[in-house]
Each structure stands twice: as structure tokens, then as C-alpha cells.
Amino acid sequence: RKEVEQDPGPFNVPEGATVAFNCTYSNSASQSFFWYRQDCRKEPKLLMSVYSSGNEDGRFTAQLNRASQYISLLIRDSKLSDSATYLCVVDSNYQLIWGAGTKLIIKP
Amino acid sequence: EAGVVQSPRYKIIEKKQPVAFWCNPISGHNTLYWYRQNLGQGPELLIRYENEEAVDDSQLPKDRFSAERLKGVDSTLKIQPAELGDSAVYLCASSLRDPGGYTFGSGTRLTVV
């Protein structure tokens, strides 16, 4: 079993819809969690950190479920520009483990 | 403020040749990472520096890969000799000491032919 797993997708979603994807992790001692966005042939860019209490940034909501060991990302009112690959990162004592990413395609 | 700067952006070399990548992290960022990313996969950590000390190089193929971070600022990653399987994007990232997200450079796309 991989340490961090994501559904590779692609998720094909109509513009304006809500989409959510999860990321599961195996190390229960993991301490920090992040979502990154990566556009084609570009470097990953931090989208948001994931806090225990959950956090929201505009149309994006991230949540952490420690009991089930997963983090989630919810995108509301999706835009064409949201099309990208979304990578989750799990940090356990500075050991960064990356998921392979979930590809999201927003269609007009 | 400049972000993480990497060079070159692209490199094509023949197998068995040496190659080097350079990274200048964000000023004040103590932690520097080198990652390798293959198509359709997440970045894979090669080495992590805290200032000038390599604190995690467990994933670095030491028979052909080497890295240094003189004076705890910029860093170079070298491959000698390169193999076909080394073709990938090599990303450098930096962060402050406390985890809070990492800033990546634009990467070096290496093609070994």
C-alpha cells in the first residue's frame, strides 16, 4: 500500500459544479498536510494547508479526518481555470510524502 | 521578492554524460529540497538540507548522484554518469524551518538520450 494515495482521475466536471476528492495516508503520526496544485508542465504551487479544524479559502475547503486518515479538498462553483492536477502532501517530521495527484478537468 | 530560481530550464544530454542543476532558494529559507518528478507521479524527494547540512539523503542514488549546498544558500545537484531512466523534471524547493508549505522553482526538465 502506498503511503499517500489519490485517485488519479481524471475527474471531468462541468463548469459551476462542485467537486471533491480525497487523499488517504498510512502514517498515523503525520503532522502536517497540504494541497498543492500543478498545471501541466509547471511546478507545484501551494493551494492550502489543511488544519485539524478544517479550513476554507474562497471556493476551496480542505478537511482532515485523522480517525480515517484522509484529507479532502472540495471545490465549489468550479471554474475552467481550476483544471489542473491536485497533489496532496503529508508531512511527518519533515518527511514529505507526495501523492501522485488527481487530475481535474473542468468543461464548459 | 524572487522565488526559487533554478537553471537550466531544459537539458538534453547523451547517456553516460554528466549533468548539473543549480538552485537558489528564497532568501532566508533554511530548508532546501531536491525532488525528481516523473510524468504522472508526485515529486519524489532526493535530498533535504537544513542550512548546509544534508539531513535526509536516504532516497539519493549515491552511486551517481551528488549534491552540495555550500554556505547554506544555493545548491547544485549532479548526476554522473546519466542514464536513460534519469529523464525527469528535477525540482528544487525551499521552506522556512517550520513546516508551512514549500515554494518550488520552475524545475529543470532533463532528457537523457
Q: What is the pLDDT of residue B100?
A: 60
**Are the Cβ atoms of A98 and B40 closer than 8 angstroms?**
no
Q: What is the pLDDT of residue A9?
A: 93
The mean pLDDT of chain A is: 92
Which one of B45, B46, B90 would you mutate to disrupt binding with A, by most A Cβ within 10 Å of its Cβ? B45
DSSP for chain B? ----EEE-SEEEE-TT--EEEEEE--TT--EEEEEEE-TTS--EEEEEEETTEEEE-TTS-TTTEEEE-GGGS-EEEEESS--GGG-EEEEEEEE-SS-S--EE---EEEEE-
Could you read off the pLDDT of A47-85 as tens digits, one per residue? 998 988 889 999 999 999 999 999 999 999 999 999 999
Residue B10 has pLDDT above 60, yes or no: yes
Q: What is the pLDDT of residue A2?
A: 78
B-contacting residues in A 10-69 (Cβ below 8 Å)? 31-32, 34, 42-46, 49
**Are the Cβ atoms of B107 and A43 closer than 8 angstroms?**
yes
Q: What is the pLDDT of residue A105?
A: 97
Could you read off the pLDDT of A80-103 as tens digits, one per residue? 999 999 999 998 776 778 999 999
Residue pair A50/A35 in contact by the 8 Å Cβ criterion: yes
B109 vs chain A: nearest CA distance in angstroms?
Answer: 9
**Are the Cβ atoms of A94 and B45 closer than 8 angstroms?**
no
Could you read off the pLDDT of B39-65 as tens digits, one per residue? 889 999 999 999 999 998 989 999 999
Q: Per 3-state DSSP, what percentage of chain A is helix, strand, and coil (rounded to 5)?
A: 5, 55, 40
CB atoms under 10 Å from CB of B81, counted, come to 14
**Are the Cβ atoms of A44 and B43 closer than 8 angstroms?**
yes
Confidence of residue B99 (pLDDT cuts 50, 70, 90): low
Place of cell 549532479: B78
Query: Percent of chain B having pLDDT more than 70?
Result: 96
**Are the Cβ atoms of B101 and A96 closer than 8 angstroms?**
no
What lies within 8 Å, CB to CB, of B61 at 6+ separation is none
Residue B101 has pLDDT above 80, yes or no: no
Using a CB–CB cutoff of 8 Å, tell me whether B25 touches chain A: no
Q: What is the mean pLDDT of residues B64-88?
A: 95
Confidence of residue B97 (pLDDT cuts 50, 70, 90): low
Query: Percent of chain B having pLDDT more than 90?
Result: 73
- Residue A17 in 3-state DSSP? coil
Dihedrals φ, ψ of A59, to 5°?
-85, 0
Confidence of residue B6 (pLDDT cuts 50, 70, 90): very high
Q: What is the pLDDT of residue B72?
A: 82
CA-CA-CA-CA dihedral for A24, A30, A35, A40, to nearest 10:
-80
B46 vs chain A: nearest CA distance in angstroms?
Answer: 11
CA-CA distances (angstroms) from residue A16 to A13, A72, A75, A102?
Answer: 8, 19, 10, 19
Place of cell 528535477: B90
Using a CB–CB cutoff of 8 Å, tell me whether A105 touches chain B: no
